[in-house]
Amino acid sequence: MVWYIIPKATGGGAFKFADLFKEKLGILFDKEDEMCSLVGGVNFLLKTVPREAFTYLDGQKKFVEIDHNDLYPYLLVNIGSGVSMIKVDGDGKYERISGTSLGGGTFLGLGKLLTKCKSFDELLELSHHGNNRVIDMLVGDIYGGTDYSKIGLSSTAIASSFGKAISDGKELEDYQPEDVARSLLRMISNNIGQIAYLNALRFGLKRIFFGGFFIRGLEYTMDTISVAVHFWSRGEAKAMFLRHEGFLGALGAFTSYNDQSHNDLKPHHHTVQRAILNCSGHNFRHIPVTSNLNESETIECSINLV
């Protein structure tokens, strides 16, 4: 007889690697819908964790008090490989209203081709040291260093991402890879911020929450998205971020543990690896714990988000 461990799993990998986990590790995924898990995770955090949401603009981080009675509707912008924009009207009430294929996957894919970086972290670290103005064409480059104040554009506004490469007469190897990475990060972040605001405007949404692997608490990314939302909304809308945004899908899947009726697959005896996640500010500590469980025993799990 074959016995399985059945954890919750969500996202594309829950489907893509399901057979591999079953065959190699004896793990059978209880698959949860990705969008449902994302929304569930955000709602859980906003209702449960104090000082969860914050804004980040011009280097200033400010926590936002969320009125649980006036939470909905809001726009959730999840930035993974691509970008999904979800209008959330309540618990279990949501609709994917838009998105874009230009997301984290675009950043890493183009970054690998243009800078030879091998990982997302390496590319982000490289972008920290770059100057996008070396490659991006600014309004001031077009208007002789002056603003185009008639339509509200400062001289430092980006007129064309990578635009200077048109007339510089340089090849890719003539540019510093950190400047390329910085320009690429700015281009994608600006694009996401603008599209997000336009969708919020379309549905009359004042709250826009951004999350996903692309952000990862990176100040420059958050600032760029915030500037884009502030610019296009003329200050009427604000981009908001979540302290625990990297765990939205996992939290949503975890909170869906309502049905434990897998008795036909329950093992007589097995070893389970549990994980305790201690979140405090931006410091995360992962502590593995091993327990032997008999047929009559259960695991009681809890989440403590500080």
Which domain CATH number covers 119? 3.30.420.40
The Cα 223–Cα 230 span in angstroms is 10
Domain match, 109 and 227 both:
yes
Domain carrying residue 13: 8-33+250-305
Digit-coded pLDDT (tens) for 202-247: 999 989 999 988 888 888 889 989 988 998 888 888 999 999 888 8
Report the C-alpha gap between 192 and 9 in whole angstroms: 27
> CA 289 to CA 276: how far, in whole Å?
8
Average pLDDT, the chain: 82
Domain match, 182 and 257 both: no
Query: Where does residue 305 rank: exposed (0-12), middle (13-18), buried (19+ CB within 10 A)?
Result: middle
Residue type, 174: D
Cis peptide before 50 (omega within 30 of 0): no
Has residue 236 been placed in a domain? yes
User: Is 93 part of a structural domain of the chain?
Assistant: no
Residue 3 lies in a domain: no
Do both 199 and 254 map to the same domain? no
- What's the confidence (pLDDT) of residue 266? 41
Partners of 219 in beta bridges: none
Q: How far from chain centre, in Å, is Cα 212?
A: 1
**Kind plus residue range of the DSSP H or E element containing 197:** helix 177-203
Among residues 243, 262, 291, the one where a domain terminates is 243
Mean pLDDT of the region 29-58: 91
Q: Which two tokens stand for residue 189?
A: 């972040």
Residue that is last in its domain, among 243, 258, 277? 243
Is the residue at 20 inside a domain? Answer: yes
Counting the structural domains of the chain, the total is 2
Question: pTM for the whole thing?
Answer: 0.79
